[in-house]
Chain A
Amino acid sequence: TQLLEQSPQFLSIQEGENLTVYCNSSSVFSSLQWYRQEPGEGPVLLVTVVTGGEVKKLKRLTFQFGDARKDSSLHITAAQPGDTGLYLCAAGPMNTGFQKLVFGTGTRLLVSP
């Protein structure tokens, strides 16, 4: 079973602080995605990274895919209360076709005003 470990599991910070969330695996993936899920709702796709070493920016969020395509990070600059939620990484295993996503364990972020 291919596992995605996320760290930290929980993060509670003040508005304006920066933070980084990590997603690690021993497996190589075709691509990796980051989702945010709010209570009572489904995951919302934030970004997809495909190429090893790729960096993508989405406003205050910066996503990086590791060179070996085994890990990824999400960095949030100047966090705001609206960033509160569960952040999930998900990846498509190699050689299984574009079918099932393997999800990480999640990082629960709380940003206080």
Chain B
Amino acid sequence: NAGVMQNPRHLVRRRGQEARLRCSPMKGHSHVYWYRQLPEEGLKFMVYLQKENIIDESGMPKERFSAEFPKEGPSILRIQQVVRGDSAAYFCASSPRTETYEQYFGPGTRLTVT
């Protein structure tokens, strides 16, 4: 039973470019969460999605960031016009249902903006 998969594991972008981060949840999981871990800081919630729906995006920056979880395919976190401050580790987690806080994390994508 494969775990949460994220790709790429490492992504380097120049300022102003776009970054696309992908997340495939565990089999049978329909709830996806994205978190960001800045250097020397804790994990911060960004967005919670179910298939084709954004449920809670209260942790997402208002500009340049968007997320989707289409009916088919992985969840995508998209960052437009990246800036140096976007450099961080981005983690995706999934859970099978809402009646639990147990979330299972992927290995993360480490974004470096040069």
Contacts and interface: CB of A to CB of B under 8 A. Distances in A.
B60 to A, nearest CB: 11
Q: What range describes how many residues of B lie at the interface?
A: 20 to 34
Interface of B: 4, 6, 33, 35, 42-45, 48, 55-56, 58-59, 91, 93, 95, 98-108, 110
A73 interface: no
B101 to A, nearest CB: 4
Nearest to A32: B101
Nearest to B44: A103
Contacts of B99: 98
A105 B103 CA distance: 18
B48 A100 contact: yes
A100 B102 contact: no
27 contacts: A30-B101, A33-B102, A40-B110, A41-B107, A41-B108, A42-B107, A44-B105, A45-B102, A45-B103, A45-B104, A45-B105, A48-B101, A88-B42, A90-B101, A92-B101, A98-B95, A98-B99, A99-B48, A99-B55, A99-B56, A100-B33, A100-B59, A101-B43, A102-B45, A103-B43, A104-B42, A105-B42
